[in-house]
Amino acid sequence: MMKLGVNSVLFKDFDFATAARQIALCGYDGVEISAIKGMCEHLELDRWKEQADELRSIVKDNGLEFLSMEVASLDEERLILAFEAAVEIGIPIVNVGPGGKTGVEADLQHSIETLYRLSEKAESYGITLCVKAHIGNAIYNTETTLQAMEEIPSPAFGIDMDPSHIYRGNENPEEELPKVLSKVKHVHIRDCKGRATGPGEIKNQACGRGDIDLYAYCKAMVDGNYSGPVCLEVIGANKHSLADVSIVAAESYGYLNACLKALGARKPKLV
């Protein structure tokens, strides 16, 4: 059964305990904790040892599990801290962005070489390191994703397949997912209106509100026997009320859970 979660960045204006409580109330199985410096640090990597017990307790008390962590950065020093924290706290996947600029071959090679080295380090910790194609970055579409897959052999390396970035890069994610699914170990998911560079208002990132054929994307996941985490990642949630962000989370859960239940990939939760 695919597990559904929420990246806590959606609740960036609130503490992690509040985020976990709302995520659980919406029906999700787990949480992706945000450790994104300068955006949302529910997990502060520079002092993770001070936070570890509290974070584990919060997740357990809300009946959730840690599905992943988002660091975004490729900074090696920061990622070593992330791997150490992940092992201690019990977080199986660390997600990063590729960095660099689209269309710059040197940036693409640098990104792949960095991910190669960091994946080997992740492997030594027993952690999976995932990267996603990110519009504007060096790895930005299916072609560059496939190149990274070919050149990074570590079993600890995976793809975080985000349909929003693929769609906004003028590809149809439900058609592209099967091409990379063999290495997909995590899915960030959200919707969007149109193919603009940015993801738009948070209400239009709620799954089912935008233009991406997310039902077809869910079907591609199920048809390809994907069984990893699917985590809602909504950004831009500045100065929104707790009700505003919780509505986005709840609406997205209802949509994704219904799609996956119809496709036989979710069972009713026991309460």
Q: What pLDDT, on a 0 to 100 scale, did the predictor assign at position 74?
A: 96
Q: What is the pLDDT of residues 197-250, one digit of tens each?
A: 788 899 999 999 999 999 999 999 999 999 999 999 999 867 899 999 999 999
Please list the residues that pair with 32 across neighbouring strands: 7, 68
Strand, coil or helix: 170: coil
β-pair type (229-232, 3-7): parallel
Q: Is the dihedral of CA 181, 183, 184, 185 positive or negative?
A: positive
Contact 161, 142 (CB under 8 A): no
Cβ burial of 146 (10 Å; 0-12, 13-18, 19+) is: middle
Q: What pLDDT, on a 0 to 100 scale, did the predictor assign at position 198?
A: 84
Q: What pLDDT, on a 0 to 100 scale, did the predictor assign at position 196?
A: 81
Q: Report the pLDDT averaged over residues 137-153.
A: 98
Q: What is the pLDDT of residues 159-185, one digit of tens each?
A: 999 999 999 999 999 999 999 999 999
Q: What pLDDT, on a 0 to 100 scale, did the predictor assign at position 197?
A: 77
Within 13 A of 185's CA, how many CA atoms are on the CB side? Answer: 20
Q: What pLDDT, on a 0 to 100 scale, did the predictor assign at position 270?
A: 56
Tokens 């787990």 found at: 30
Domain boundaries, the chain: 3-263
- Is the pLDDT at 156 greater than 70? The verdict is yes
**Mean pLDDT of the residues in the chain:** 96
Q: What pLDDT, on a 0 to 100 scale, did the predictor assign at position 267?
A: 81
Which bin fits 27, alpha (ψ -120 to 50), beta or left (φ > 0)? left
Tokens 């831009």 found at: 236
Fold of 3-263: TIM Barrel (3.20.20)
Q: Report the pLDDT averaged over residues 32-51.
A: 97
Reported pTM: 0.96
Q: Give CA–CA dist 217/95, Å, rounded.
A: 20
- Is the pLDDT at 6 greater than 60? The verdict is yes
Token code pair at residue 242: 């707790």
Q: What pLDDT, on a 0 to 100 scale, did the predictor assign at position 126?
A: 98
| Residues in CB range of 189: below 8 A, 6 or more apart | 162, 163, 164, 207, 214, 217, 230, 231, 232, 233, 252, 256
